[in-house]
Amino acid sequence: MLKNKNQSFSVLAMARLSSCIGYFFLFVILRCFRASASSPSHKTAGAALFIFGDSTVDVGNNNYITTTPENRADVKPYGQNGFFEGPTGRFSDGRVIVDYIADYANLPLIPPFLQPSADYTYGANFASAGGGVLPDTNKGLVIDLPTQLKNFEEVEKALTEKLGEAQAKELISEAVYFISIGSNDYLGGYLGNPKMQETYIPEVYVGMVIGNLTNAIQALYEKGARKFAFLSLSPLGCLPVLRALNPKASESDCFEAGSSLALAHNNALRAILTSLQHILKDLKYCNSNFYNWLDDRIKNPSKFGFKDGVNACCGSGPYGGLLTCGGNKKATEFQLCNNADEHVWWDSFHPTERIHEQFAKALWNGPPFSVGPYNLETLFFNVEKLTIADIVDAPDEHHFQ
């Protein structure tokens, strides 16, 4: 009897021990997956990256279209910091946010769609400086969002020819679709366009921009896209160009109308994304509050390692607000600061490389209360399918605002 009892005890103990060992090995295996998926030194390429948008993410498409010098960044000192050999078309002293994201995802730099014989195996960039969601924005001078979507169809065809239909479909459904657009619809398209302002009150205009952006998201979803990332709008009224135009100019004032349009747009986009998540099956996205993030750096530059949150490094006039950087525009005189790294703003419209890098890091693995519902690392490497940690700290949309 006693012997029997002992035996059953030891069987139970063995069972417990083996299940412990099982959990331990499972844990180790999951940790290994996580390490191989997320460590940048380990070169597992993440999902492909397709980019749509404006000058915040244009990496040279406008070099290949007919446009004005204001919509191009193909002269020095653009790209001056040495990462690239010279100007590339990026509106920055060096890289822009999508260059960092490609790097974190272990992808090569994603080429502009229009670059002759570009390789689209890891994605393509369709963005165009000056471009808007609405075709009327800077019409004739830019590649608008509907045209960027048509260009995506070209890439889809090229990939199907190269990889075969099944593999191309898989690439497209696994890829991340990064969208950074809207500023030009409110700047040139509305604030700089008295006729639009007479025709539409701001609320209706924001509704049109968001309605058309929603259509674009749905069109991509119908083509197989499932993972999206959004760069929401910055406090537009604090761009040096708008600060300089502020009718109530004082040292600390931004142009109220610009910032409130950006806020209205961001709020509407957030609401739309929350509802699309329930309508479009398997939709996953990364969004963030870029407005407050940048506003913080504009108001408290020294807290984040900057010296100047107000004045453009390159430009002229009050706050460097005149877009003269490069000297190839109507005015040929411009000033250039000594150290762009000390500035939030590179030129009168665009932030410095340092801002791009800091925000790329925030989107990559920022906490759920600042980025969400998914961060970019999760989207590129599907880490949530592989780790206990991701199940435990599952992104919760309620934490995110």
Ligand X SMILES: *[C@@H]1O[C@H](CO)[C@@H](O)[C@H](O)[C@H]1NC(C)=O
Interface positions with ligand X (CB under 6 A): 134, 136, 208, 211-212, 215
Q: Where are the alpha helices (DSSP H) in 223-347?
A: 240-245, 256-279, 290-299
74 vs 136, beta carbon nearer ligand X: 136
Work out how close the CB of 212 gets to ligand X at its nearest, in angstroms, rounded to a whole number: 4
Q: How far apart are the first and last CA of the chain?
A: 64
Annotated catalytic residue: which of 265, 343, 350, 356?
350
Residue nearest ligand X by beta-carbon distance? 211
Work out how close the CB of 289 gets to ligand X at its nearest, in angstroms, rounded to a whole number: 24
Annotated catalytic, 347? Answer: yes
H/E stretch holding 51: strand 49-53
Residue 239 sits at the vertex; the CA angle it makes with 71 and 309, to the nearest 5 degrees, is 125
- Residue pointed to by tokens 């924005």: 137
136 vs 295, beta carbon nearer ligand X: 136
CA atoms in the 13 A half-sphere facing the CB of 276:
25
Judging by beta carbons within 10 Å of its beta carbon (0-12, 13-18, 19+), is residue 98 exposed, middle or buried?
A: buried
Work out how close the CB of 211 gets to ligand X at its nearest, in angstroms, rounded to a whole number: 2
171 vs 196, beta carbon nearer ligand X: 196
Work out how close the CB of 56 gets to ligand X at its nearest, in angstroms, rounded to a whole number: 21
Q: Which of 134, 138, 136 is nearest to 146 (CA)?
A: 134
2 vs 204, beta carbon nearer ligand X: 204
E strand map for 74-139 = 123-125
* String of DSSP letters for 10-39: HHHHHHHHHHHHHHHHHHHHHHHHHHHHH-
Task: Pull the structure tokens for residue 216.
Answer: 């674009």
Letter for the amino acid at 1? Answer: M
133 vs 244, beta carbon nearer ligand X: 133
8 vs 199, beta carbon nearer ligand X: 199
CA atoms in the 13 A half-sphere facing the CB of 376:
29
Work out how close the CB of 142 gets to ligand X at its nearest, in angstroms, rounded to a whole number: 14
Annotated catalytic residue: which of 58, 93, 99, 347?
347
Distance CA 364, CA 374 (A): 9
What distance separates the 2 farthest-apart alpha carbons in the chain?
Answer: 101
Annotated catalytic residue: which of 55, 92, 259, 316?
55
- Residue pointed to by tokens 């040495």: 82
Work out how close the CB of 77 gets to ligand X at its nearest, in angstroms, rounded to a whole number: 36
Residue 316 gets which letter from DSSP?
B
105, 49 contact by CB (below 8 A): yes
142 vs 314, beta carbon nearer ligand X: 142
Work out how close the CB of 277 gets to ligand X at its nearest, in angstroms, rounded to a whole number: 19
Q: Which residues are catalytic?
A: 55, 347, 350
